[in-house]
Amino acid sequence: MKAAAAPEFEVSAWVGAAGPVSLAALRGKVVAVYAFQMLCPGCVSHGIPQAKQIRKTFARDEVEVLGLHTVFEHHAAMGRPALEAFIHEYRIDFPVGIDQPSEHGPVPLTMARYQLRGTPTLLLFDRHGVLRHALFGMVDDMRAGALIAALVAESVADTGPQPHCDDGACRL
């Protein structure tokens, strides 16, 4: 049995995107998503620079980089205008989704759905939209680069939720 594609993000808006963003529309690419909060020190000193480095290191037709603003504390301080100022000042050049606030508690919906432990968390999805790595805290650049490159090296047919038999052949 193959792993299932991950659920879509539930976001109230995308900042810096030309249009709507979805994991489904990114099938065929590796997707690196940085879950962060703009007032989380480790996100600012480590996560955001690493996300920008991923954007710089890998080709756009192979790897998509997204941010996900998963605010679970200090909600009043991290609303949309604050996030937009942050994105401007830190020269963030990839789309950032605003995780949908919950009506029932401080943790936003996507963060809850993915059971994230906190911020920063680097989520790596393969070409089939399967979540392959959820890395909480400081991941060193070499390891991040190696994990992403390994996913890039997988052909579209290598893994994922497609049936075992396809193209007239059956795969182990």
Report the interface residues with a second copy, using CB under 8 A: 39-41, 44-45, 50, 53-54, 57-58, 73-74, 76-78, 81-82, 84-86, 88-90, 140-150, 152-154
Query: At closest approach, how far in Å is the CB of 8 from a second copy?
Result: 27
Does the N-terminal peptide bond of residue 120 adopt cis geometry, omega within 30 degrees of 0? yes
Between residues 10 and 136, which has the closer beta carbon with respect to a second copy? 136
Between residues 3 and 150, which has the closer beta carbon with respect to a second copy? 150
Query: At closest approach, how far in Å is the CB of 61 from a second copy?
Result: 15
**Using CA atoms, how far apart are residues 37 and 77, in angstroms rounded to an integer?**
11
**Using CA atoms, how far apart are residues 120 and 124, in angstroms rounded to an integer?**
13
**Using CA atoms, how far apart are residues 172 and 159, in angstroms rounded to an integer?**
11
Bridge partners (DSSP) of residue 104 are none
Query: At closest approach, how far in Å is the CB of 95 from a second copy?
Result: 19
